[in-house]
A and B are shown apart, each in its own frame.
Chain A
Amino acid sequence: DADVTQTPRNRITKTGKRIMLECSQTKGHDRMYWYRQDPGLGLRLIYYSFDVKDINKGEISDGYSVSRQAQAKFSLSLESAIPNQTALYFCATSDGGTGQLGEQYFGPGTRLTVT
């Protein structure tokens, strides 16, 4: 079984709808991240969480919110979806390392289309 899973894998929704993307991990990592990827661009960080009580905005948090329901679960919500939120969304996890910043492990991605 995959260490980092994302649901749904594909989603088409209409402008103005609320949508939630979910991420679960079995790696036992404290840190979780949400990114989006647009064609021709690198991944951009939306939100990250270093533990259940710690939520931080990333580079492009406007229009998004997150919830860290448990160490293993981190969900991303679009309260009112708009077409320019059409993108590939990735969840990732890492541990803190011992003074070093650990590798990130990624889920398979959710392809979201907003019409």
Chain B
Amino acid sequence: KQEVTQIPAALSVPEGENLVLNCSFTDSAIYNLQWFRQDPGKGLTSLLLIQSSQREQTSGRLNASLDKSSGRSTLYIAASQPGDSATYLCAVRGSNYQLIWGAGTKLIIKP
């Protein structure tokens, strides 16, 4: 059974720092992996989707990498800003079309 873990559960850093959020999964047989951002009262926003054949995806200051063999993905945020404060969730899709989710990392960027 696929399990997805995100460590740490919470992270607080000063504005301007580069940071890395981690996501690990137990079964490497995945179709894709998505990173989402969750803001209170606003639902979830998809940030990046990495297909199983890809190694990384980039969008602006965000870069997500995928290493299927080791069961890991990282979300790199460059030059963090207070507006980046949110909970970041990763989810993997397996052969049964279902997304399996991590519990998220709550990120606080201090001005």
Contact = CB atoms under 8 A, between A and B. Distances in A.
Chain B binds chain A: yes
Interface residues of B, number: 25
B72 interface: no
B63 interface: no
Contact of B43 (A42, A90, A101): A90
A47 to B, nearest CB: 11
Contact of A100 (B31, B42, B45, B99): B31
21 contacts: A4-B43, A40-B9, A42-B91, A43-B89, A43-B91, A44-B101, A45-B98, A90-B43, A92-B44, A100-B31, A101-B93, A101-B97, A103-B49, A104-B34, A104-B99, A105-B46, A106-B44, A106-B46, A107-B43, A108-B42, A109-B43
Chain A: number of interface residues, binned into ranges: 20 to 34
Contacts of B4: 42
B41 interface: yes
A48 B93 CA distance: 14
B102 interface: yes
A41 interface: yes
Given A103-B34, A108-B43, A109-B41, 9 more contacts: A4-B43, A41-B103, A42-B4, A43-B91, A100-B31, A100-B51, A103-B49, A104-B34, A106-B44
A92 B38 CA distance: 14
A59 interface: yes
B77 interface: no
Interface in B64-87: none
A110 to B, nearest CB: 10
Nearest to B51: A100
Nearest to B3: A42
